[in-house]
Amino acid sequence: MNKEKSLRWSFFFVGLLVLSFGISLTIKGKDLGIGPWDVFHYGLFKQLGLTIGTWSIIVGFIILFVTGVGTRSFPKAGAFINMLLIGIFIDVFNFILPDPHSLVAQTIMFAIGIVVIGYGIGLYVSADLGAGPRDSLMLLVVEKTGWKVQWVRNGMEIIVFFFGWLLGGPVGIGTVIIALGLGSIVGFSLPQSKKLLHFLIARQMTKRDNPLAS
């Protein structure tokens, strides 16, 4: 594996780790509400057992299957890795992180979690190794219908939010904040992550071409 590929995979894995950490932080502040997809996963966990991470993997697998049938192609390896690792990491962080016992502590964890999620998305997307299951489905719907990306994305989140709410998932002002505000954070984090990745790739190429370069 060449240096550029190694750097891309590093950004991908670190991004998934950071993203999962952020999701777990918002789950710990769940009295404020959590993201639409996490409301759905939490509702499934509440009604059917297993763990939130396990439901994230199961739902992701179903989405990958549907997307694969719709595109008549096998999903990229990055999509499977995304699906598995985020679910595993969420459960690990949910186990490790303490449960806040005051609204102030929950608010702090939730606020930090949103920013961390945004930068986790920026890191893993900048690697350009394949979209996650939910983003893959969004792109499929856009391709088949010709609808705008934001309409499809918002529509998907409203649908899963509604079913998660019916299942008893935690809904609150935080859910609205994530749905409306996360994109703005990614708007900053993604260009920054791409710039850092390209800088590191260029630096590796310089070292390869000139071993004496510092």
Residue 99 CA: distances (Å) to CA of 85, 90, 168, 188, 209 = 23, 14, 20, 30, 51
Q: 158: which residues sit within 8 A by CB, 6+ positions away?
A: 36
* Whole-number Å distance between alpha carbons of 189 and 116: 10
* Whole-number Å distance between alpha carbons of 177 and 107: 12
Task: Supply the pLDDT for residue 49.
Answer: 87
Least confident of 86-90, 153-157, 166-170: 153-157
Task: Supply the pLDDT for residue 88.
Answer: 93
* Whole-number Å distance between alpha carbons of 62 and 191: 31
- Where does residue 90 rank: exposed (0-12), middle (13-18), buried (19+ CB within 10 A)? buried
* Whole-number Å distance between alpha carbons of 35 and 161: 8
Predicted confidence (pLDDT) per residue in 172-204, tens digit = 888 888 877 777 788 888 888 889 888 888 887
Work out the pLDDT band at 150, boundaries 50, 70, 90: low
* Whole-number Å distance between alpha carbons of 181 and 43: 23
Token pair recorded at residue 151: 């309409």
* Whole-number Å distance between alpha carbons of 30 and 42: 10
Question: Would you say 75 and 130 are in contact if contact means Cβ atoms under 8 Å apart?
Answer: yes
* Whole-number Å distance between alpha carbons of 96 and 112: 17
Predicted confidence (pLDDT) per residue in 71-108, tens digit = 777 777 778 888 889 999 999 999 999 988 888 999 99
* Whole-number Å distance between alpha carbons of 23 and 39: 11
In this prediction the pTM is 0.82
Q: Which amino acid is at 88?
A: I
Give the number of other CB atoms < 10 A from CB of residue 79.
23
Residue keyed to tokens 């949103």: 114
Q: Which amino acid is at 64?
A: L
